[in-house]
Amino acid sequence: MPQPVLKDEETKPQAEPTQPPDDEKKLLAEAKNGNTDAFGKLVERYQRRVYTVIYRFVRNHTEADDLAQEAFIRAFRAIDRFDLRYPFSPWMYRIAINLTLNHLKKRRLPMVDADLERKPSANNPVSVFEQVETRRKVHAAIAKLPLKLRQVLVLRVYEDWPYSQIAQVLAIPIGTVMSRLARARQAVKEELKELL
Amino acid sequence: MNCKEIEEFLQAYHDGELSAKEREAVERHLEKCPKCQAKLAELKALDELIIDGEAEKVPDPGTHYWHSFTHRVTRRIVAHHEPIIRPRRPRPLEFRLIPYLSAAVAVFLAIVISIPLLKRAPAKFTEEEIAEITAPPQKSNVSFKRFEEEPEAQKIELRDKKLVSTDEILGAEPVETGRKLPLAGMTAEADKAAKGAGAAAKEQKPPTEPSRTERTFLKDEEKAKPAAAAKTAEPYLEEAEVFAAQLAPKSGTLRVMIDSTGQLAKVTIEKSSGDPKADTIAMKTYKNQWEGKTFRERQRTLLVPFSQQPTE
């Protein structure tokens, strides 16, 4: 039985408005005053997206769960510094991604996909083997990337974030996003040359 | 645009980041450039490979998980809400003014409370009050009495001591004759003389520095104060007699001069008793008693009171 996955509309970032919605602004204002219920509603609104981004990097539910919770808690602690004139999601993603990347740095272990060999999507043994092998190589190629390149590639390719949002979340210029993305793609292409 | 320029835009075109104008320019070049088309195809293939190579789509932990996730996050926030050091937010104005308002209220209350007190107290003291304040402290009756009494008692005691000591000098110091208690003797003689219209001659040492003997006597007396209380009673009585003689209307004073050799040089009447006969008897009695004896004192003039009963 295939495991349910998050739908795109649940994980992909919405079109980021320049101004936060009124209800979100209200919730943020209440959260800034220490209202945990209001912040809980924000958590409910963004938990899937934050979890997904984190999962893309750690490839582990337990770690993703822990990091997602920690990201929201840190966001609440730092919410006094949040400017209500800006949307919440880029700020929240930045906290989550920085936390995740720091976690990966500390872990110092190759990014291992627990589902790499366990859940092939085909029943044919040959194709299952090929699929597993392809996944392993792709995964290894991405895991070899420096974090700065990897985070741009993941956010662009997996999360389908626009450059502007990546630049906003990572606090880097769009030109830097483009150059890092080009370098990341070039490096992965070199690694996966035989598969292309 | 040439291929090199297109290459810079190709990734952005692939990612959908170009403006409509830029996109059209790239597409026009792609239509006639297979090399750039191949590069674009590589990009698409790579992304597909990366996406397909993803081991698995992000799993959905389920509704229950998401519900509990929110709950767990808020619970952890509440649990750690206190220790969290939140950056200081500017407090509302009314809270910030509390210290200043408190100080203002305290000053106001101090002024309100002190006004009646200031009104009650006169701005200036009256002359009577100044005099009262600046006057020396009044002695109480008791202290005044004691103050007056104590020197008097001292005076009596000292005079008594001087008298006794002087007598001792006059009586005991003579080298040739033995010591004789003068006042008692003089009083007795005076009594005898009174019978025959005589006078009692008593001597009193003028208020000078106490002699060595006196100092010794004083010292000894101080040492033997409790024990010698009975012994000193007699001189006190004698003192009383002297005073009585002094205060009596017929009392007089002899002026006794002792020369440099310690001999009795001259006895005259310093103060007459009012009765010339009694004065003469007193002088003769004194001369007869002490003439020819050597005194330890030199170059001294003694005033010796005497009393005389009125002659009948």
CATH of the domain at A194: 1.10.10.10
- For the segment A5-13, the average pLDDT, to the nearest whole number, is 52
Residues of chain A contacting residue B76, judged by C-beta atoms under 8 Å apart: 69, 73
| Per-domain residue ranges of chain B | 3-43, 153-307
pLDDT at A20: 62
pLDDT at B234: 45
- The 3-state DSSP class for residue B301 equals strand
- To probe the interface with A, which of B7, B8, B17, B77 has the most A CB atoms within 10 Å? B77
Based on the fold, state whether residues A66 and A154 are members of the same structural domain: no
Q: Going by C-beta distance under 8 Å and a sequence separation of 6 or more, which residues neighbour residue A37? A: A30, B74
Please tell me the total count of domains within chain A.
Answer: 2
Q: Is the CB of residue A76 less than 8 Å from the CB of residue A39?
A: yes
pLDDT at B143: 33
What is the C-alpha to C-alpha distance for residues A151 and B21, in angstroms, rounded to an integer?
30
Per-residue model confidence as pLDDT tens digits over A118-144:
455 555 656 667 777 888 888 888 888
pLDDT at B164: 40
Query: Which amino acid would we find at residue B136?
Result: P
Q: In chain B, which residue's Cα lies nearest the Cα of A175?
A: B12
Based on the fold, state whether residues A29 and A96 are members of the same structural domain: yes
Q: Going by C-beta distance under 8 Å and a sequence separation of 6 or more, which residues neighbour residue A102? A: none
For residue A48, give the nearest of B50, B66, B84 by CB distance: B66
**Is residue A59 in a domain?**
yes
Q: Going by C-beta distance under 8 Å and a sequence separation of 6 or more, which residues neighbour residue A194? A: none
A190 touches chain B (CB under 8 A): no
Domain span including residue A12: 8-109
Per-residue model confidence as pLDDT tens digits over B85-99:
444 555 667 777 888
Per-residue model confidence as pLDDT tens digits over B258-273:
888 888 888 888 888 7
A44 touches chain B (CB under 8 A): yes
What is the C-alpha to C-alpha distance for residues A16 and A166, in angstroms, rounded to an integer?
12
Residues of chain A contacting residue B73, judged by C-beta atoms under 8 Å apart: 40, 43, 47, 69, 72-73
pTM passes above 0.80: no
**Is residue A37 in a domain?**
yes
If one counts every other C-beta atom within 10 angstroms of the C-beta of residue B140, the result is 10
**Low-confidence residues of chain B, pLDDT below 70?**
1, 55-56, 80-92, 120-250, 308-312
pLDDT at A179: 93
Q: Is the CB of residue A147 less than 8 Å from the CB of residue A179?
A: no
**Is residue A86 in a domain?**
yes
- Nearest in space to A26 (alpha carbons), one of A9, A13, A45, A10: A45
pLDDT at B202: 42
CATH code of the domain covering residue A48:
1.10.1740.10
Test B56 with A182 for CB contact under 8 angstroms.
no
A163 touches chain B (CB under 8 A): yes
**Is residue A150 in a domain?**
yes
B125 touches chain A (CB under 8 A): no
Residues of chain B contacting residue A142, judged by C-beta atoms under 8 Å apart: 50
